[in-house]
Amino acid sequence: MNRLLYKVCIVTGAARGIGRAVARAFAVEGAIVYGADVLADELELEMKALRDQGLRAIAVPTDLRNPEAIEALVNRVVADQARVDVLANVAGVIEIKHLEETTLEDWETILNINLRAPFLTCRAVAPVMKQQRSGSIMNVSSRAGVMGFADEIAYCASKWGLEGLSRSIALDLEPFGIAVNTITPGTPTHTSMSEKTYSAETRRIWRDPTEIAPAFVHLALQNPLGIHNQHVNAWELTQQLRAQGRVA
């Protein structure tokens, strides 16, 4: 439908799962997608598959634990395109451990990828989005960002932090026409992470990430006068869009 025609989009975690589905959805809508992931080979295969369909997709292997790598990612996009229209922070990791089993390394890895990396990407794209006076930022959160779960110590901390970070950034960037939201899948979704955490019962009802990707496309179109500074349920939003005939 070309709703994102020529929009420049950065998607982290684009090699697998929700990130892959979002990158594909953006590209199908006409965007120029820069996919970032530490899984370099898988990322390049996914981006090449999009290019083979005549879509615009560039792989930028990025270790989100490394601040210099994040800076290089955004600098690459700005150097190529002179703008950034959409930032989707999808990448995330989890460990299921009791409090006393959670190591400092576990804590730092999860917080660095799930919270510090979104802070750094948002900070890096802010100047160009402010200059444009437009943009949309979406940070993938979770129910674990609004309620606690046993054995998800670092993960819950990272997602609660992401909610607070996003609420603050939303207010900071609102005067410049930039929408900022958190988004949660809202339904059991089949990802590498859920393969580690879901019970056999939940796996029977999980959905493919492509089923919630339309919500990300819709958020990419927002400004502060639309959906802004919200914790968005991707499944519910997609269902609303489908009921309105805006999703096939």
Catalytic site residues?
Answer: 155
Q: Residue 135 and residue 64: Cα distance in Å, rounded? A: 22
Residue type for position 92: G
Closest C-alpha among 190, 224, 225 to residue 207: 190
User: What residues pair up with 179 in beta bridges, in sequence order?
Assistant: 136
DSSP string computed for 89-152: E-------B-GGG--HHHHHHHHIIIIIHHHHHHHHHHHHHHHHT-EEEEEE--GGGTS--TTB
What are φ and ψ of residue 183, in 5° steps? -140, 130
